[in-house]
Structure 1
Amino acid sequence: MAKMIGSIEVDTEKCKGCSLCVVACPTDVIALSDKVNGKGYNYAYMSNPEACTGCTNCALVCPDSCITVYRQKVEVV
């Protein structure tokens, strides 16, 4: 049986910290960083990467297309 695992990559310089991805994530993978980017915004990052399923909800709601989602199929023994 296979399981899908995911990961996201956030363009931290484009991210304006709107939190739409944080709210849209069903597994609470994303949070806003305490650090700021060059524009002074707290950017999104994966705070709980092992819970990511690669559902793409975050990328779909991102108004600035800052998020790229990667999915990988892993065989479960």
Structure 2
Amino acid sequence: MVVRVDECKGCGCCVDVCPRNVLELSKDLNRMGYHPCVYLGEGCIACGFCFYSCPEPGAITVYVKEEGE
């Protein structure tokens, strides 16, 4: 998964719906002055909950890993 921090407005919807708790709001501000969502680096199961809950088009992209990746 990829979070484009400069597209995120820090609403936290994705953090709230993530079943694996692999997202959190950053303490740092993005260029728009929001605390963006950040991916903690591992554990994403590509369920898409974050993508579908996000009100900002293009802020979150979820990739499904193929077997063996």
TM-score in same-fold range (> 0.5): yes
Provide the C-alpha distance between the structure 1 equivalents of 2:37 and 2:67, rounded to a whole number of angstroms: 26
Could you state the TM-score of these two structures normalised by the residue count of structure 2? 0.88
Describe the superposition over 1:12-45 as per-residue Cα deviations: whole angstroms up to 9, x where unpaired: 1110000000001000010011111111100011
How many residues are aligned here?
67
Unaligned runs of 5+ in 1: 1-7
Aligned: 1:34 with 2:27: yes
Greater strand share, 1 or 2?
1
TM-score by length of 1: 0.80
Q: CA RMSD in A?
A: 1.1
Pairing 1:44-55 to 2, within 5 Å after superposition: 44-47=37-40, 49-55=41-47
Greater CA radius of gyration, 1 or 2? 1
